[in-house]
Amino acid sequence: MTVSEQSVQGIVRRPRWQRVSRSLSILLSSKVAMAGLFIVLFWVLVGIFAPFLSPYTPTEQDYRAQNAPPSAEHILGTDDLGRDIWTRLAYGARVVLVILPINANFWIPIGTAIWGVLLGLAVGSTLGLIGAYMRGGIDEGVMRILDAMMAFPVILLYMIIISALGSSAVNVVLAIAIVGTPGIARLVRSLALDIRTRDYIRAAETRGENPFYIMFVEILPNARGPIIIDALLRVGYAIFAMGTLGFLGLGLPPPSSDWGSMVAAGRRYILSGDPWAALWPSLAIASLVIGLNLIADGLSEESTRYQ
């Protein structure tokens, strides 16, 4: 390889590294985003190392300590069946953020809430790009269908989907994706409508590039900033939705350590002076949602300073 070829490759590669460096600098320069990142990373690490953080299993019962307060033996107390609350919180974080359990013996990396948002992003971004770039009848047809979906209250739509498909981690992922797709599609469409008028899009069309190449290589990467921030917020919404479904008995089936189900089971004992089983999972849901929102808010505020 000649020196000139190496220099050309360096010129091609440098912008990519500059974009990565710029993104990291935006994250690191925001105290708000770093605070949110610390909270989220805490729960991610808790989920990853859940088997090593407690001597108990999430289904192990201690009949001598039912609804017990925090102690040296059970640092966050126990629920009505004598199960260690900290252990169940740790394994619940694993399901939300780290793994997607397909069945009792098989799982895949990345948690239930994140898979739901990723699937919604894939479908919603595709529909939004096609509608914005193709326009005409295709745009009208896609948007009217999505508008009809958005007319349903979110919780009602979740309940309809889960009731029809049944309670499982995979079905919760599908429900999160279906509910999130209309909003993602409308966001991507609005961004794409602006980007498609830029000169580099006209240059790609003049070169005779395929429409899908223009949509996914030229338009989508240039809209990634608002999409990433929106995705972070949607992961928080998905976690809150999982908690709501679990509270209503439509979340992950027992004996899964579903935080929403833990709140639903523990709320019966609040008035009797045993709030621990409902208090800790409620705080876990709130802290994780707040952490994701802090990251999104910090990135949004800092990115405007670089524009």
Q: What is the pLDDT of residues 206-220, one digit of tens each?
A: 988 899 999 999 999
SS3 14: helix
Q: Is the predicted pLDDT of residue 158 greater than 70, yes or no?
A: yes
* Band of pLDDT at residue 273, cut at 50, 70 and 90: confident
Contacts from 100-104 at CB under 8 Å and sequence distance 24+? 100/169, 100/170, 100/173, 101/169, 101/256, 102/169, 102/170
More confident residue, 47 or 65: 47
CATH of the domain spanning 112-256, picked from 1.10.599.10, 3.30.470.10, 1.10.3720.10, 3.40.109.10: 1.10.3720.10
Q: Is the predicted pLDDT of residue 41 greater than 80, yes or no?
A: yes
* Band of pLDDT at residue 299, cut at 50, 70 and 90: confident
Nearest CA among 251, 218, 287, 255 for reference residue 116: 251
> In the prediction, which pLDDT does 101 show?
85
Mean pLDDT to the nearest integer, 247-251: 86
SS3 31: helix
Q: At what angle do helices 276-305 and 224-247 cross, to 10 degrees?
A: 170
Q: Is the predicted pLDDT of residue 291 greater than 90, yes or no?
A: yes
Given the structure tokens 């896609």, which residue do they identify?
Answer: 142
DSSP labels, 240-263: HHHHHHHHTT-SSPTTS--HHHHH
* Band of pLDDT at residue 283, cut at 50, 70 and 90: very high
**Percent share of the chain, pLDDT over 90:** 52
Q: Which residues pair with 107 in a beta bridge?
A: 101
> In the prediction, which pLDDT does 254 show?
77
Token output for 147: 């508008």
Phi, psi of 83 (to 5 degrees): -85, 140
**Percent share of the chain, pLDDT over 70:** 89
Least confident of 24-28, 169-173, 213-217: 24-28
What is the CB-side half-sphere exposure of residue 142 using CA atoms within 13 A?
24
pTM of the model: 0.87
Report d(CA 243, CA 284) in Å as an integer: 10
Sign of CA dihedral 176, 178, 183, 186: positive
Q: Which residues pair with 109 in a beta bridge?
A: 99
Q: Are 245 and 251 in contact (CB under 8 A)?
A: yes
Q: Where are the domains of the chain?
A: 112-256
* Band of pLDDT at residue 11, cut at 50, 70 and 90: very low
Q: Is the predicted pLDDT of residue 72 greater than 80, yes or no?
A: yes
Sign of CA dihedral 103, 109, 112, 118: negative
> In the prediction, which pLDDT does 304 show?
65
